[in-house]
A and B are shown apart, each in its own frame.
Chain A
Amino acid sequence: MAHLSPVDLLVLHAVRLNGFAGTAAVAARFDLDADQTREDLLDAEAYGRVSRSAFTDLGGWSLTQAGYRHNEAQLRDELDHTGARGTVTAAHEQFLPLNARASQVFTTWQLDAGDPADTLHQLARLADRLHHLERLVAARLSRFAGYHARFTAALVQAVDDPAWITGVEVDSCHKVWFELHEDLIATLGISR
């Protein structure tokens, strides 16, 4: 049975994975109740774990250093408590060679050397590997579910609009991939 993470962990972790996001986007990340999420964010702000800031025309929440430390402590306790460390470590090891290939595909695409059909084909193959990897981890920690669905949704969009490959304004293939990378290293408490 997959472990369900507590809401306060999910709220803080959603801020970390989004990097910088408004309350609605934080709630949407793990499909949490918007009002509950707002309350939790205000609590976290009182503890100095998140701060509200504005960049140009964009306002949102981000973690403070104290927030990073608290998030990492919660993730570490969760791994110890559920005994899922071995599974996540194995998934991270599987991820690294896939990440090298994905970064190569994204970079080649951006540098105008990537053929669109070939790029989509290679990303589709990575999606298959991602599916396998996600099933492995999500079987222990349910919060890991959803990356494959978002990645393939981006891939479908990319057929008509290439911004979905590496774009920063949409939930592109690269954005999903980057987020999974962050999630794995955050969960294992390692640095990039």
Chain B
Amino acid sequence: MKIHEYQAKELFKKFGMPIPDGKVTNNPEEVGKIAHEIGKPVMVKAQVHVGGRGKAGGIKFAHNAHEAWEHAKAILGMDIKHCTVKKVLITEAVDIDTEAYIGIIVDRAAKMPVIMVSPEGGVDIEEVAAKTPERIMKLHVDPMLGLQNFQAMKLARFVYEDIGIARKAARVIMQLYMTFMHVDASLAEVNPLITTPDGKVLAIDAKINIDDNGLYRRPEIEAMRDLDEEDPSETEAKNADLSFVKLDGSIGCIVNGAGLAMATMDTVKHFGAEPANFLDIGGSSNPDKVINAMRIILRDPNVKVILFNIFGGITRCDDVANGIVAAVKDFKPPVPIVVRLTGTNEDEGRKILEEINLAATSSMEDVVKKAIELAAA
């Protein structure tokens, strides 16, 4: 799950990270008041779940409350990479001496968190890694021990020569690690971490991605979910306990299992068409799931055919067939349906589908070809 900059800053702040004062609002009329309260020049920052806000004009400097209000009016409602800006963060503008990068992710191969720091802050860290990898220091943390002070200091000294600044930065790196581990993050970064001419170290931007698997025990973070930022059909699918990702093609896919669902999309593409979605109905074979899945897919006007690819294991083909029949009777889908059934109770499933004159194939390639043919007709 993604959260906004202002939410990431709230989390970092809980662990003591130094962050300039700020407030979030969706109302341009409040912006002047907030800027006035801060009493200094401010930054007006669009809060959306995509990168490249600055380049898109979503981050502006304002000398005073009036300017802040004007910027906020322009930014709110702005479209950044297909996301409409609904909130802005008004935060104190600070003088910047140096900009650095600090971040942490899980290293899947090493099975350890890895911290990355670089004196090249404020730019895309992947670019730094590609062009000047020697400007990045990486350090793996033993998850059994946690980050030790000397390690944080080693990282900080890579970035800062001044020992006083390095000590402050080491503390921030420690806070970054603590936050990462305590919120079930999959990524946490501060870019840039800045120093001011008077020797302060401040996190002026923040990003945290959360591991969905950790959300069951982090209700305070689940509460940060911004439904405006998520595709409504994906939210609906999530509530129906379906795994769904919307795409741009015309072949609606309903599959059991994530790997098979991806392979089904790939097969559609292989035979020259585009999938409309990824959808995994999961392992259980509740007919309701099938009905919900069809309903969600049919919301997309681009969908010209619905393709079922079911390899029964725990999922029973007869349950899926019952779901298809119920859905067809319930809301008469305006597009053709093609079905592949193999595995547990496939014969029973076929028989059930006969009731609505649907013939199921047993080959994945055949069903995909048939779907493409029907979509083109």
Asked if chains A and B come from one complex, the reply is no
Which residues from chain A sit less than 8 Å from chain B, CB to CB?
none
Which residues from chain B sit less than 8 Å from chain A, CB to CB?
none
